Structure 1
Amino acid sequence: MSESLWTAATGTYMLAVVAYTGEYAFGKNGRIAQTSAVQSGSVSSGAVSSGAVRRPALVGGSDSASDSASDSASEPASEPASGLSPAPDQPRYGAGSVESGGPAGRRWGRAAVGLTVLAAAFHLACVTLRGIAVDRVPWGNMYEFTLVVGLMATVAWLATLVKMPQLRYLGLFVMMPVLLVMFLAGTLYTKASKLVPALQSYWLAIHVSAVAVAEGILLTSAAITAMYLVRSRFERHAAAGTAPARLAALGSRLPAAGTLDKAAYRTVAFAFPIYTAGVIFGAIWAEAAWGRYWGWDPKETWAFIAWVVYAMYLHARATAGWKGNRAAYINLLGFGAMTFNFFVVNIVISGLHSYAGLT
């Protein structure tokens, strides 16, 4: 039953990605208007109605950044550029609204969120039944741990939508990694079995669950940070009046860089204490199992490296005021260290934490 639910969850995630793609394609104009210069009123509706459109001022990392359509000197009154204030007869949507796209975009967006919730329910049932089948917490090997990380990333995304619903159409870029994680879990499949003696401890439920929750949330932050870098480059090209490169051109369909930067920072700030607790719980478990709190095992070393990088990210933001690309690169570096620890250390490097369940 657990394996069948994995199939159902993966298939539903695929449908959710398709729906998010539909909203991204058909609802983009309303989304851009909602998350760019229209919120700050940098271009008056009177200017649009008269046909004289000014280019809004661009500030790196600010929510007042405009889209590439504002590069033109003028636009017809009947066809205002995306990212500009709507004409007086057009509806204005608040920053928290998720209904700013056209009818097609709204339908795709609602379907995407509904499918995401349904997939998460299948996913949760898959993990729960796996735990019942093995009569223990369901994260004793890489297959099970990967499932839990994917589930936590989905929950983190849904929680982000509750706080920032205007980011809904970006689900394509967040749920695609989750879908890849589900396929990865399939390649790491391990038959249900009892734990090795070293893992038969209540600390497994405490330590591994904290790490899985934190890594799932940090996966969401990394996806948002990657989108921030694309949007930031697009805004720099728009400010300079130059044509953006192929990748940077995708930034015209993304929210303002400041909005993405804020979302990425908040997710890291929420996940970091959980990850810290997971590392501390692991040290306590190590003392009970091996007679020492820390032995610089490869798994311990890379967990510490990832922790230091994320601590640098939060410290730089809090003390030095880093909010631009430099902070974003530190965030991605931390996720890279965590990913290396997840794949290479578990599969390639041999150590005391070699419990991947693979042969």
Structure 2
Amino acid sequence: MPVNETLSTYSDWCYGAATLIYVFAMIGYAIEQAFTRTAKKSEVAVLVGAGGPEVDTPDGGPAYGRVEAGAGRSRAERAGRVAVALTALGVALHLGSLVLRGVATQRAPWGNMYEYGMATMLVAVIGWLVLMRKFDVRRMGVFVLTPVVILMFLGGTVLYTEAAPVQPALQSYWLVVHVSAAIISSGLLLIPGVFSLLYLAKVRHDADQSRFARLGPKLPDADTLDRLAYRTTIFAFPIYTFGIICGAIWAEAAWGRFWGWDPKETVAFVAWVVYAGYLHSRATAGWRGSRAAVINSVAFAVVVFNLFFINLVVSGLHSYAGG
């Protein structure tokens, strides 16, 4: 089926524009993160007692709050609000890029590494917007968008692939089911990966004030980071499991076996085991905290390793998706 080159070009333009807008949003989040003064819990209690606004946390308890200069919004908060608006605009362009790519090729727009990365980062940013609406974590946007921008830049340069029909091996309805599950879960798992790394930085700062001296005080409390990482992971993990199961069914239909220990299958299974270990450790009192955060960080590192190194370097039955 011929490719609509015009729509493909528009898709590329939207992708580049979305990446640039995410950069500006990241700068806005960074400004808010850097210049917002943070009050300790005791100060928040005094402010609330004097009629100041309460700050919600995932568990409904007290948290660090922002101390604004004057009655109006501070410049730092305005920068954060602009960053959210830019993020939403970036998502609209990002989604437009993915849709245009699909219409141009008349197929699901995740048949190669460029398209897969595009879709995965879109899920990550949408997940972040949803999380910001529920919890007071906006200033952490700089840490979430930084890997998104880096991966999108790599996708648009190193991994870019011209719009074209997929290879015969991928011409199956399982491309929609299996790969979409992998995209959704991988995109969502980026967020708890970042939270767990920030948790470790926060704990390090609390234990040794000389480390992360500027970053630590501006982060949410460690318990909030831990809960957010756990709740996001526990939502994404069943989707990841479903994706692996669908992949096994597709493998049986395409290659005559459910599991063949192909490099990508093996590393995906290793990531699943590590995430299962994280959820188990997080539910076990003796392994909460730093140990669980380290396991979650390792799990996300395995997912990224599987996405790039296995797809691009190691030869296997999934190598056709590397182009």
Same fold (TM over 0.5): yes
**Deviation string, structure 1 residues 37-82 (Cα, Å, up to 9, x no partner):** 556x4xxxxxxxxxxxxxxxxxxxxxxxxxxxxxxxxxxxxxxxxx
Instruction: Name the counterpart of 1:12.
Output: 21
In the alignment, residue 135 of structure 1 is paired with which amino acid? Q
Instruction: Name the counterpart of 2:4.
Output: none
Query: Is residue 124–residue 188 contact of structure 2 (8 Å, CA) maintained in 1?
Result: yes
**Deviation string, structure 1 residues 174-231 (Cα, Å, up to 9, x no partner):** 1111111110111210001111111000000000000111011111111111111111
Structure 1 gaps, min length 5: 42-84, 238-242
Query: Is residue 202–residue 216 contact of structure 2 (8 Å, CA) maintained in 1?
Result: yes
Query: Is residue 37–residue 66 contact of structure 2 (8 Å, CA) maintained in 1?
Result: no
Query: Is residue 193–residue 297 contact of structure 2 (8 Å, CA) maintained in 1?
Result: yes
Within-5 A mapping of 1:34-53: 36=41, 38=43, 41=45
**Deviation string, structure 1 residues 301-334 (Cα, Å, up to 9, x no partner):** 0000000000000011223453210000000111
Say what the alpha-carbon RMSD is for the aligned residues: 2.0
Instruction: Name the counterpart of 2:149.
Output: 179
1:339 maps onto 2:304 in alignment: yes
Alpha-carbon offset, residue 336 of structure 1: 1.2
Alignment partner of 2:138 out of 165, 168, 181: 168
Query: Is residue 64–residue 221 contact of structure 2 (8 Å, CA) maintained in 1?
Result: no
Within-5 A mapping of 1:208-247: 208-237=179-208, 243-245=209-211, 247=212
Query: Is residue 234–residue 249 contact of structure 1 (8 Å, CA) maintained in 2?
Result: no
Counterpart secondary structure, 1:356: helix
Instruction: Name the counterpart of 2:262.
Output: 297
Alpha-carbon offset, residue 91 of structure 1: 2.6
Instruction: Name the counterpart of 1:147.
Output: 118
| CA distance, structure 1, for counterparts of residue 112 and residue 142 of structure 2 | 29
Q: Call closer, same or farther: CA 1:37–1:182 in 2, change over 3 Å.
A: farther
1:201 maps onto 2:166 in alignment: no
Query: Is residue 134–residue 192 contact of structure 1 (8 Å, CA) maintained in 2?
Result: yes
Give me the TM-score of the superposition, normalised by structure 1. 0.80
Q: Call closer, same or farther: CA 1:88–1:162 in 2, change over 3 Å.
A: closer
Counterpart secondary structure, 1:190: coil
Alpha-carbon offset, residue 337 of structure 1: 1.1
| CA distance, structure 2, for counterparts of residue 254 and residue 260 of structure 1 | 9
Counterpart secondary structure, 2:282: helix
1:253 maps onto 2:218 in alignment: yes
Instruction: Name the counterpart of 1:94.
Output: 55
Counterpart secondary structure, 1:112: helix
| CA distance, structure 1, for counterparts of residue 30 and residue 287 of structure 2 | 32
| CA distance, structure 2, for counterparts of residue 357 and residue 346 of structure 1 | 5
Q: Call closer, same or farther: CA 1:11–1:158 in 2, change over 3 Å.
A: same
Counterpart secondary structure, 1:295: coil
Query: Is residue 224–residue 264 contact of structure 1 (8 Å, CA) maintained in 2?
Result: yes
Q: In terms of Rg, which structure is larger?
A: 1
| CA distance, structure 2, for counterparts of residue 100 and residue 250 of structure 1 | 15
What is the count of residue pairs matched by the alignment?
303
| CA distance, structure 2, for counterparts of residue 174 and residue 128 of structure 1 | 24
Structure 2 gaps, min length 5: 1-9, 58-62
| CA distance, structure 2, for counterparts of residue 310 and residue 282 of structure 1 | 18
| CA distance, structure 2, for counterparts of residue 87 and residue 269 of structure 1 | 33
| CA distance, structure 1, for counterparts of residue 154 and residue 103 of structure 2 | 22
**Deviation string, structure 1 residues 88-126 (Cα, Å, up to 9, x no partner):** 767343326999453212211111111111101100000
Query: Is residue 99–residue 106 contact of structure 1 (8 Å, CA) maintained in 2?
Result: no
Query: Is residue 143–residue 189 contact of structure 1 (8 Å, CA) maintained in 2?
Result: yes
In the alignment, residue 24 of structure 2 is paired with which amino acid? L
| CA distance, structure 2, for counterparts of residue 149 and residue 112 of structure 1 | 21
Q: Give percent identity, aligned residues only.
A: 49
Query: Is residue 309–residue 331 contact of structure 1 (8 Å, CA) maintained in 2?
Result: yes
Give me the TM-score of the superposition, normalised by structure 2. 0.89
